[in-house]
Every structure is written in C-alpha cells, then in structure tokens.
Amino acid sequence: MMRNWLIAILLLLSLSASGCKAPPVPSEVKETETQESNLWRVGSAFYASEDYLKYKESYRQAKNKLIKEKRKFIWFRKYKPVRLAFKNVLDEGAKLSQKVEIEKEIKSNKIMSQLASLKNRIDAVKKLSLIAKETLVARSAIISAELLMSEVGFMKQEGNLIAAEEKLNDISPYIEKAEETVRSFLARYVNERAIRTWKRWVNETISESTKNNIVVIIIDKLDRKLTVYKKGKAVGTYLIGLSRNGLSDKLHSGDFAIPEGKYRITKKLPSRRYHKALLLSYPSQEDLEEFSSAKMKGLVPEGASIGDSIEIHGGGNESLTDGCISLENKDINKIFDIVDLGTPVTIVRALSSPAKLPITRKGL
C-alpha cells in the first residue's frame, strides 16, 4: 500500500518537473461574457424576451460545463466540449443580436409612423382652431401634446424606444380633447338643414360648369378648401385662409365674417396689397335682404353698412383676413390665369356636419 502511494507521489513530482500545465480556457468563454453583456445592454430582454431567455439558459449550461471541467485535475481537463458549448452560445447570441436589431428597427419605424399620424391630427385641429373662437382649452391641449411629442422624439433619438412607445400613449388624450373642443364649437355654426342648402348650391354650380363648359369655383369654409371645376370635373384643390370670424355668414361691414352664397367674379386685379385678387359680386340680392332683416332685428350696429370688396386674393393660406379668402401666391396665380369675368363662385360654410367631421383628415 505504501509502495502505491510512493509511486503516485513520484508520478506527481515527475509531472511537475516536466512542466505540466493546465490547458488554457477557450477564448470563446471571454467572448461569450462580452456578448452577454452587450445583449443585455441593447435591451434583448425587452425586444426578444423569449429568445433572450433561451440564450441565457444555453449560457448557463455552458458555464456549468466549464465549472465542472475546472474541478478536475489539470491533466484530466478537456476543454473541447466546453469550447463547442460556448461556440454554440456565441452563434445563438449572434442570431439574437440580429433579431433585436430588426425588432428595434420595426419599433422605431412604428414610432415614426405614429408621430407622423399624431402630427397630422395636431396640424388639422390647429388650423380649425384658427377660425374657432373660445378655443383656449383646445390650444392648451395642443401645446401639451406637442411637448410630449418632442419628448418622444428625443427618447427615440437616444435609442430609448420602449419608453418612447409608452410615452406615445399619453399624447392621444390631449389631441382628442382638442378635437372634441373644436368640434363642439364648430357645431354651433352648422346644422343638417343648412348643409342640405349648401349642397344644393354646390350641385347647381357644378351642373352649370358641365352644361356651359366653363370653370367654376367652390369654397368650403369649414374644410378650408377652394376647388376649381372645369367642365364639371375638379381640376385643382387649394388650402385657404379665412378671417377671424370666417365661419360666420357676413351681415355687415367690419364683422370680419365671410359671406355665403352664389357669386361671380366681377374684376381681376393683377396688382393688389395681397398679390393678385379676384373681386366677387358681393352683396347679392339675398345678402341685401338678409342685411335688412338683421337690421330690423337689431343685429346690425347703428350706422353699419352691408360692406363690399370681398375678394379671393394671395398673401398666404395661413393669414387671417378682414373678411376675404386668402391663398398662397402660387395658387392665386394658377386660378387667376384660368378664370374669366363672370366665373361662378359658390361659398358654403360646410358640406358635412362637424359632429361627423373627420378632423384627422389629411390636408384640413
């Protein structure tokens, strides 16, 4: 027995003397450690949670193999299975990294799309709020929504997509509040009976375009649109600016309202304060009768006249006019060239009820 121990001791001394060293730990072990840290840092647990859990389990099993191998005497250690296990983990991690990048790209694009959609809604309600008085609540809500959108944009730029996506959910309630406030206000100015009348005016004007093979103009104040028809077909639609009481029907001079009715172009003015202008045949006979009725009811200030000089002019579609319809200069240039004296112009307050109006409609 003693002899066997002596042999073992001599063998150990012999191996030590011959310089026997433990085999090196595979480089894949350190690479996997770095990879795991990077995968956690880029948010794999959020963007590909199931795959990340599988990766972590594979990594755990590989580390157990390493630990088990290290417990052996150095001359019995075999790292080939360990290297293979860690190499498989590295391959799994590489695929996980690609998936995370794809998921992040998808989420980033989704956030951009949602931001664009929200911006369209904000732009639409802002334009409508310009012609709706008493909209302090709406504008306050819009400001809150815009501040949150800036915050989301910053989060996205910093790569914090999860927080950005969560913050997006806080924006819509503010926009909805603004939309409902504006919609409720505009509803005071529109009713279904009036809409039927305005639709009839529009249909009659378009029919005149078809019958007489001429150009006509339709203006929808609530929709902030001027549409040109030729031979009964729409050939151009342009955004317009209105006066501060633009949704109201004009009763007298100085009320900053825009008349509603069927008019004609009486003058083409190539050089005006607001670029070019088209003078309309306001007041019509119907306007004169409405003015007289309003005056008898005490709705017209003492000494006020019915007013005149209602124009379609340039100057920009964001400007607040004194009672006219404004266009971008490039747009009035196009229209100026294709209309003649006598061209019919029909102005209506709305062609759809504000309660049903899709405020999110692009281009409002």
Split at pLDDT 50, 70, 90, the class of 158 is confident
Q: How does residue 133 score in pLDDT terms, banded at 50, 70 and 90?
A: low
pLDDT at 73: 85
Q: Is 225 helix (H, G, I), strand (E, B) or coil?
A: strand
Give the integer Cα–Cα distance in Å for 111 and 153: 9
Cα-to-chain-centroid distance, residue 70: 59
Q: Angle at the Cα of 257 (from 283 to 311), degrees rounded to 5? A: 55
Sheet hosting strand 215-220, strand order edge to edge: 233-239, 225-230, 215-220, 344-348, 261-272, 275-280, 311-313, 325-326
- Distance between CA 247 and CA 185 in Å, rounded? 11
User: Position of tokens 């799309």?
Assistant: 113
Rg, the chain, Cα only: 38
Which residues does 94 contact at the CB level (< 8 Å), separation at least 6? none
Residue 126: closest CA among 135, 134, 117: 135
Mean pLDDT calculated for residue range 100-111? 92
Main-chain dihedrals φ then ψ at residue 64, nearest 5 degrees: -65, -40
Residue 277's H or E segment, with its range, is strand 275-280
Contact 264, 344 (CB under 8 A): yes
Instruction: Report d(CA 321, CA 255) in Å as an integer.
Output: 11
What's the confidence (pLDDT) of residue 286?
Answer: 92
pLDDT digits (tens, 9 = 90+) for 167-187: 999 999 999 888 888 877 777
Beta bridge mates, 346: 218, 262
Contact assessment for residue 237 and residue 225, using Cβ atoms and an 8 Å cutoff? yes
Closest of 305, 298, 306, 304 to residue 282, by C-alpha? 306
Digit-coded pLDDT (tens) for 336-356: 999 999 999 999 988 877 655
Smallest CA-to-CA distance from 240 within 337, 362, 364 is with: 364
